[in-house]
Amino acid sequence: MGTGPERRCFTILLVFLGFLIRHRSSAEKVLLVPPPIYDSHWMALSKIGRALVDKGHTVVVVITEDIGETRRTEWPDFQFETFQDQGTQARLNEDLDYTVSIAGEESLKQFIESFMAESEGLKQYCSLLLADSNLVDRLRTSQFNVVISDPFFPCGAILSAHLDIRVPHIAVMRVDPYLLDEKAAGLPLPLSYVPFPGTDFTDEMTFVQRLQNVVSSILGHMIGHWVASSMYDELVRTYIGEDETIQSVTSRTDVWLYQTDNVLDFARPSMPNMVQVGGLNVQMVNPLTEDMEAFVPSAGRDGVIVVSFGSMVKTMSADRREVFAAAFARLRQKVVWRYVGEKPTGLGNNTKLLAWLPQNDLLAHPKTRAFITHAGSNGMYEALYHGVPMVCLPLFGDQPANAARVVARGLGVRLDFSTVTAEQLYQAILHVVTNSSYLETATRLSRLHRDQPQSPMERAVWWIEYVIKHGRLPHLRARAVELPWYQYYLLDVAVFLFGVCSAVLGTLWYSCSFFCRKICCKSGGKLKSQ
């Protein structure tokens, strides 16, 4: 066997090889199906994918061929399967840019038209994806252990069932725009304190707000389900089965990973397969770049204000950018503003414009005093994690509801993006920065949010690996998913009980009437004989 040192080297080599083999055997294949638009949605999925790669798994992403090269450069750890979308994604992005440009000013009619146009574009993208037989064959050959998608793009659930009905499906989301998740998970929805996602109500509603909440929920569910059915039921029947619908396919989802946290979001009923992972986008803090490291400390005791309206807001109108620039110029703090476009004429010397900024790293910096945001989910949770008060100017989607939660928790204030004046914005920032209650609340909620047995990302990865290990999880799905509506609401029981009560009361009434008539007849006979 050789000398002692040789035996030790041989033993170490065997242990190392055993580790590699064991690590290799635990590596599974994961398929990500991201929406073709909304970078924030891709951001959440990609970070989950990166965490899975770090655990030794193989992550494959389905994207259009037009952005394949860019994605491969940005994410070299992922594998990509591409298809020709015939320019659908580019058109979707153009429509999205227009929607963002009129956010806050569009009418209800324009909103519905935009939603329908966006859904139609997503359906076309999905149709081209599913129709690519070469792509589907390659994906089937890969034999994935789990498919992860965002319900904003229901095609992920359809593709999962199309590849193999036995492959588990996991949804990652903040909110389902089609509202299919509530029925799919069998989730009870007490509208007395659960605000409809399309409103900015809190869990404390007045009578009028509860009335509006009920009406909004009924109409919202009807419209959402109708749009989803009209767009995707035909695809489901074509690729899954004649008896299937988008609702039935979505209901096969094994685990729902919600980007929520009760520290910020309002408590509501949940199901065993619904897991909160709010804040999974928060990363390790990296040192600032040399340029930023020179700018931020120069703010002194006054500190820094971080401004970002997300990746979708690429430019601002001349009126809006001058309003913001004028308000920032009056501040004693330094301002770091993520901004792309023509430089505002009223830009102050205290304001630094950047096409991209290290948002998480800046929010973690001790000199950061406030975060001016559109109340997008990712930025909101980064600010929560680092304990930074917020000034919210929501634009569309779930952002008004997110801003309502920030205000309700005492984390900041809310303004109207399209109508706010420079004076109003300046006073709001001053109020948040100088009023110590906002910082105290942000610090307290940050401690609550951080104090968890697992980080949100660790929890998400644990559940994904749990699904990979055990496959489909029917024991976590509520039976409510399979019940017809009249059974779910106990209408059959109510009708039966009503029938029994009616029969008993009817019998009692008839009996009393019968005895009364008999008694009256006997009394009448006696009187006549007398």
92-138 tens-digit pLDDT: 888 887 777 666 666 667 777 778 888 899 999 999 999 999 999 99
369 and 348, same structural domain?
A: yes
**Using CA atoms, how far apart are residues 261 and 281, in angstroms rounded to an integer?**
13
pTM exceeding the 0.95 threshold for the entire prediction: no
Q: Which of 454, 483, 499 is the last residue of a domain?
A: 454
CA distances from 17 to 11, 53, 58, 491, 525 (A): 10, 20, 20, 63, 110
Alpha carbon distance 355, 314 (integer Å)? 9
Whole-angstrom Cα distance, residue 259 to residue 378? Answer: 9
DSSP 188: -
pLDDT recorded at residue 15: 47
CA distance 222 to 226: 6
Q: What angle do CA 207, 213, 214 make, to 5 degrees?
A: 95
Tell whether 373 and 463 lie within a shared domain. no
- Do 385 and 238 lie in one domain? The reply is no
Can you give the three-state secondary structure of 422-445, one letter per residue? HHHHHHHHHHHHHCHHHHHHHHHH
Alpha-carbon span 207 to 220, nearest angstrom: 19
Same domain, 447 and 463: no
Q: Do 361 and 258 fall into the same domain?
A: no
Tell me what pLDDT residue 246 has.
Answer: 96
Note whether 440 and 463 are same-domain residues.
Answer: no
Same domain flag for 467 and 447: no
Q: Is the residue at 528 inside a domain?
A: no
Q: Where are the beta strands (DSSP E) in 154-273?
A: 169-173, 255-258
479, part of any domain: no
Does residue 315 sit in the same domain as residue 433?
yes
Is the residue at 335 inside a domain?
A: yes
Q: Is residue 199 part of a domain?
A: no
Q: Identify whether 414 is part of a domain.
A: yes
pLDDT in the model for residue 523 = 62
Domain interval for residue 398: 290-454
| Cα(426)–Cα(329) distance, integer angstroms | 9
Choose the final residue of a domain: 391, 421, 454: 454
Considering its fold, how many domains does the chain have in total? 2
Structure tokens at 296: 């931020």
334-338 β-sheet, strand order: 351-354, 334-338, 304-308, 368-373, 390-392, 412-414
Q: What CATH number does the domain containing 176 carry?
A: 3.40.50.2000
The pLDDT assigned to 525 comes to: 57
Domain-ending residue, one of 454, 485, 517: 454
Query: One digit per residue, pLDDT tens: the chain, 530 residues?
Result: 455 555 555 555 544 444 444 444 367 999 999 999 888 899 999 999 999 999 999 999 999 999 999 999 999 999 999 999 999 998 888 888 777 766 666 666 777 777 888 889 999 999 999 999 999 999 999 999 999 999 999 999 999 999 998 899 999 999 999 999 999 998 888 999 999 988 999 999 999 999 999 999 999 999 999 999 999 999 999 999 999 999 999 999 999 999 999 999 999 999 999 999 999 999 888 888 888 888 888 888 899 999 998 876 766 788 889 999 999 999 999 999 999 888 999 999 999 999 888 999 999 999 999 999 999 999 999 999 999 999 999 988 889 999 999 999 999 999 999 899 999 999 999 999 999 999 999 999 999 999 999 999 999 999 999 999 998 898 998 888 888 888 888 899 999 999 999 999 999 998 888 888 777 776 655 545 55
Same domain, 463 and 450: no
Same domain, 248 and 358: no
Same domain, 262 and 294: no
Q: Say if 153 falls within a structural domain.
A: yes
276 in a structural domain: yes
Pairing of strands 334-338, 351-354: parallel
In this structure, is residue 233 part of a structural domain?
Answer: yes
Q: Rounded to an integer, what distance in angstroms lies between the CA atom of residue 239 and that of residue 85?
A: 18
Q: Do 134 and 179 fall into the same domain?
A: yes
